[in-house]
Structure 1
Amino acid sequence: MTVASPPALPTGIVDAFATHVARTRYEHLPPLAVAKAKTFLLDTIGVGLAGTSGPHFARISRAAEAWGRGEEATVWGSGLKLPAPSAAMVNAYLIHCLEYDCVHERAVVHPMATILSAFFAWAERAGGRGRPVNGRQLLTSLAVGVDMSGLLGSATTAPIRFFRPAVAGGFGAVSAIGSAAGFTAAQVADAYGIQYGQCAGTLQPHAEGSGLLPLQIGFNARAAITSADLVEAGFDGPHDVLTGQYGYYNLFELGQYSPEVIPDELGRVWQIARLSHKPFPSGRLTHGALDGLRQVMAEGITAADIASVEIQAPPLVKRLVGRPDLDNPPANYAKLCLSFVAATLLLRGRVDVPEFAGDTVLNDPEIHAYAKRISVVDDGNPDQNALAPQRVIVRLASGSTRVIDLPEVYGHPDAPLTDAENRAKFARCCGWAVPPVPDARRAEIERMVDEIEDVTDVGQIAKLMVSEG
């Protein structure tokens, strides 16, 4: 495959992103970006299907249905037909509600949840209007969307204080839709301005373990379709929405940013190739502890052998998941509590979707007792958005110590899941769906993703993600 040179970019940040979106074609994507787009397309579909087991799915679907039925787009799992913005909102919740979707670590953003939910709903509607979106357009849209979300977050030096995954993800979703819609650079810039007026997301649900946290992904996915629709209707938006007086970086990121990463990497380093898998359905910031303990347990060490565990990690880890263990925690809180998640691995031997379903594990007194042996220590890393490096120190009852140094955490592109592990995760996720996805349909989804370049209407994928039960 010959890769065409990407277009030259203008100097302004908004204009640079908009030009990248408007001019990038499938032929500009290197093979690695195409391969990773397929990898995380399959992964995101899988976690979205598993999300049908999420605790608030039925409630959110009922609310969305009450706002108006329609035949534009499909809610995954149930097959409910809704207007595209509403379907995007519900499906975004499905993707993020289990804390199992991929992440851009440097940006502290979950881009695919917002991008794919919005894009699929928009594309399904476009197909129904006689403008089908093909697989090559999908891959291109995913690449430019993740470029926008990933670099937008990567340029900040401020500690995360709002829900950056949702807000940056919304800009990525606008980019993805604008690419497939054939927007000019000026139209993409207008869409960014309209999206900025709809940004939503706070870390308070993260602190409390509220189900609103994943729904904020949905709010921004819904907004992305609204932004694109308003542009197509001829509406314009403010343009200096990233570095202006009241722009994103000054308002949301406290004026703390280093924008040079954007022109340095845009169109050169494809951010979709820098996404990290989440091998476990818990906050990504808990995964260092799980990675280290997984390595120690592979030596034959069990929970009974361990006196204490100390995780030395960057301040982001301490601040967001070094929270106290609670008796009878809400599932969303437990997923973001490092000590609880690590104790669950030690005593159950795994951390997967069933561990956070029901009260059996959440109320297990032995797990909560072991959680008290696990601590998180701020290692003083000056980077307020860093996840690694980390050190896991396991002190054994025998008096000996095991030390695991993690330059990167399992799932990172420099410590990746294999293709077989990615497909095994997809199969597990299909099994956690309610009702489970039949093996034949799971295989058909995999085949369609593998051959996505040849798919003439990606909106048809939604038909494979509807329950037969």
Structure 2
Amino acid sequence: MQQQIESTDRDYAGVIASHLEEAALAMIPQATIARAKERVLDSIGNILAGVDATGNAAARSVFASYGGSAESTVIGTGTALPAPHAAMLNALSMRSYDFEAVGAEAGDANMVAAHISGTTVPVALAASERADASGAQFLEALVLGDDLASRLAVASGFHTASGGDNTGTVNVMGGAAIVGKLAGFGAQQYRDALGHALNQMSGTVQNLFDKASSFKLPQAMAARNAVVSADLAAAGFSGVHDALTSSFGFFTLFSPDPHPERMLEDLGRSYFGDMIIKPWASCRAAHPALDAVIRLKHAHRLEARDIEAVEIHVTPTTKRGFTGQEFAAAPGSEVDGLFSIPYNVAVGLLEGTVRPEHLSAAYMARAEVRDLLDRVTLVDSLSPHEYQTAEAVVRTRSGETFRTRVEAVLGDLHRNPLTRDQVAEKFFLNVEFGGRISTADARRVQDAVDHLEDLDSMRALVALIA
């Protein structure tokens, strides 16, 4: 439902445009840069892991058929396409196992549901390759784009129950800011680009309820639309003057609970982005339950054959959401497992993790998986006001009962972060799973990302993953 924002005399779009024009890498804290590098490494691994996921070859064939200039690399394929198409296809690969960084960071260390890096990193890679930008220019643009998308998500009051998918809204503006920064935009060009982004926003969470491969499209189309938005502005095509707080701007059309003033909190001093690097390949809404059963598995050396029953206690909103649905009788693709709490719980108890290799149709149909799934029950007993929590109760065949409650889920930057070594391990495992580049080249990628500021041309990094 649309909510008209309160009338304001403040030119929010103008403030954002001026900030984007004036901000520079030297103004960005080193801790922010270090976090961005971790997200870049994680993102490249996720793209390489997802190249062959369901539907991606079909999408590549469609966009390759359009032709056009070979501006930017479709990662892992050895081909190049126009930058908007390459950005889109790389974002599609990155989302395929729902393994990318998530969670728009707020100034109070809380988060709003978002998948920002899944658009911004593919956009930054494609646009910097096209522009032959340096690593420092890439980092500068990426941090600014991440920050804008994160601020928009937080200020919008987004929640998945609203029905929209903000991977197709805030990501477009964040991506357009990246392309604009790499192109040296002035304030008016940023205004135009944000206006063009507004006209290309879309996305529905119905994709997730339907377990359709199109769940990847809002994030991927946002990457394409971001490049197009900035390219139109660069060509002098005028756009909406105030794409944010005008009568029919972003906050009216796409914000369940708009508070635009939050967008400017500590602007130019703090830089935000995704605050969670995922330890497991599944929707973050499944991670509290998954974390809980993995803890119990390790603490009590649980084996699937020993388990009589599993109860997972969640909030009513979670149980009636897309991750609370009954698991498919005949799963056909990764999406069936990605967005199912019961499936993630079963795999977590069997494997102690959930990775892309556990999301094939063949694995999901395994007898031991289906047998354990029959013993998993979701209970909507937690307070509706809780967020990112779960309780797990496991009863064994010998009569023992084990339980735990999870509030600080693994991967959260502020509460339970992955270590640098864990992020690197995830990257190398994803490279191995994808099978597109060698381990030696993966090590070169890791070194290049660690020293992005010293990289003369991003084309050298892209060549390693082409």
> When the two structures are superposed, what TM-score results if normalisation uses the length of structure 1?
0.90
Aligned to 1:149: 149
Amino acid of the residue matched to residue 442 of structure 1? A
Deviation at 1:303, TM superposition (A): 2.3
Q: Does 1:25 align with 2:28?
A: no
Q: Which of 327, 332, 356 does residue 335 from structure 2 map onto? A: 332
Q: Which runs of 5+ in 2 are unaligned?
A: 1-8, 105-110
Aligned to 2:167: 165
Counterparts in 2 of 1:395 and 1:65: CA distance versus 1, 3 Å: same
The number of residues matched between the two structures is: 446
Alignment of 1:252-267 (within 5 A): 252-254=254-256, 256-267=257-268
Q: Which of 318, 335, 357 does residue 354 from structure 1 map onto? A: 357
Aligned to 2:108: none
Deviation at 1:363, TM superposition (A): 1.1
Counterparts in 2 of 1:317 and 1:165: CA distance versus 1, 3 Å: farther
Counterparts in 2 of 1:400 and 1:264: CA distance versus 1, 3 Å: farther
Aligned to 1:37: 36
Aligned to 1:317: 318
Aligned to 1:136: 136
Counterparts in 2 of 1:314 and 1:168: CA distance versus 1, 3 Å: farther
Aligned to 2:3: none
Alignment of 1:53-92 (within 5 A): 53-92=52-91
Alignment of 1:190-209 (within 5 A): 190-209=192-211
Counterparts in 2 of 1:379 and 1:455: CA distance versus 1, 3 Å: farther
Deviation at 1:459, TM superposition (A): 3.0
SS of alignment partner, residue 53 of structure 1: coil
Counterparts in 2 of 1:420 and 1:155: CA distance versus 1, 3 Å: same
Alignment of 1:422-461 (within 5 A): 422-433=423-434, 435-461=435-461
Aligned-partner Cα distance in 2 for 1:63–1:196: 25
Aligned-partner Cα distance in 1 for 2:142–2:251: 24
User: Could you tell me the percent identity over the aligned residues?
Assistant: 29
Deviation at 1:46, TM superposition (A): 0.6
Deviation at 1:126, TM superposition (A): 1.3
Aligned-partner Cα distance in 2 for 1:379–1:178: 48
Deviation at 1:193, TM superposition (A): 0.6
Deviation at 1:26, TM superposition (A): 0.7
Contact 2:344 2:354 in 1 (8 A): yes
Aligned-partner Cα distance in 2 for 1:14–1:101: 29
Q: Which deviates the most, 363-372 or 218-227?
A: 363-372
Q: Which deviates the most, 78-87 or 422-431?
A: 78-87
Contact 2:337 2:343 in 1 (8 A): yes
Aligned to 1:177: 179
> When the two structures are superposed, what TM-score results if normalisation uses the length of structure 2?
0.90
Deviations along 1:229-269, whole A, 9 cap, x unmatched?
A: 11111112113323333222322234x22333222243333
Contact 1:74 1:462 in 2 (8 A): yes
Amino acid of the residue matched to residue 25 of structure 2? Y
Deviation at 1:454, TM superposition (A): 0.4
Deviations along 1:15-69, whole A, 9 cap, x unmatched?
A: 3332332221111111110110110010001100111131222211111111114
Aligned to 2:465: 465
Aligned-partner Cα distance in 2 for 1:347–1:82: 42
Contact 1:147 1:266 in 2 (8 A): no
Aligned to 1:232: 234
Aligned to 1:130: none
Contact 1:322 1:375 in 2 (8 A): no
Aligned to 2:107: none
Aligned to 2:275: 275
Contact 2:131 2:182 in 1 (8 A): no
Aligned to 1:120: 125
Aligned-partner Cα distance in 1 for 2:252–2:342: 35
Aligned-partner Cα distance in 1 for 2:318–2:383: 11
Contact 2:180 2:190 in 1 (8 A): yes
SS of alignment partner, residue 81 of structure 1: strand
Counterparts in 2 of 1:275 and 1:450: CA distance versus 1, 3 Å: same
Q: Which of 116, 123, 128 does residue 111 from structure 1 map onto? A: 116
Aligned to 1:3: none
Aligned-partner Cα distance in 2 for 1:179–1:315: 43
Deviation at 1:157, TM superposition (A): 3.2
Deviation at 1:398, TM superposition (A): 4.1
Q: Which runs of 5+ in 1 are unaligned?
A: 1-9, 128-132
Amino acid of the residue matched to residue 94 of structure 2? I
Aligned-partner Cα distance in 2 for 1:291–1:182: 44
Aligned-partner Cα distance in 2 for 1:185–1:292: 48
SS of alignment partner, residue 428 of structure 2: helix
SS of alignment partner, residue 353 of structure 2: coil
